[in-house]
Amino acid sequence: MSAAPGAECAHVEVPRTARYWHAGARDAAEVWVALHGYGQLAEYFVRHLAPFAGADRLVLAPEALSRFYVGSGEGNTHGAMRVGATWMTREDRDAEIADYVRYLDRALDAATGGFDPARARLCVLGFSQGAVTASRWIAARHRRGLAPAARLVLWGGELPHDLDLAADGDALRGTALSMVVGDADQFATAEVVARQAARLDAAGIRYTLVRYAGGHRLERDALAQVLQG
């Protein structure tokens, strides 16, 4: 639907309170930023990763800025409906991307007391929609000359379709890239994996493909393998 005649869209930046979950030592030598998928909350997502946190590994799970009630139907009330979050939608997408890029930078600094790449190794795991978010964040950091990620794990998700690998490929070449796929994942299908592999191969970007028995979720054994990789 188009805007009313004579109406113009404008933007204004506003203060916003966001939340993140963390486990492990603030001064750990390895920092894992874990980005949840569509309709999830960081409080529950971080439970998969918290057991792997400790003195040497900090796990940081920021929560997407836009929350909503998941599910609908006759008889449902807000009090009974599950709440989820999304990193972005197609509506006003450029502003939403810019917002979450700034947010993730600030969450990383807040959780570490000021991220120091000389002291800590940055690793990023994105699950499902979080894989797209993680890719954009890594590319944005590279454009601004910020510390690259030592590792990037795309779990059950893929690179943004509009990420220009000719322009931003160096952001991925500078990290150890892993794609993690369950053999029963209804979203990361064989076609999706093949399409992404073709993009990476064409751009000369090396990656590791990790497969596991399971669907569209984090599996503990596969997660342990990836984190120790």
The residue whose two tokens read 């529950």 is: 44
Integer Cα distance of 225 and 227 in angstroms = 6
Q: How many helices and strands, by DSSP H and E, does the chain display?
A: 6, 9
pLDDT digits (tens, 9 = 90+) for 123-139: 999 999 999 999 999 99
Comparison of pLDDT for 134 and 4, the residue scoring more = 134
Listed by start position, the domains of the chain span 20-68+79-228
Interval 176-194 mean pLDDT: 97
Give residue 80's pLDDT.
75
Question: Which residue, chain included where needed, has tokens 């113009």?
Answer: 8
pLDDT of residue 71: 78
R_g of the chain computed on alpha carbons: 18
pTM (two decimals): 0.94
Class (C level, CATH) for 20-68+79-228: alpha beta
CA distance 20 to 63: 6
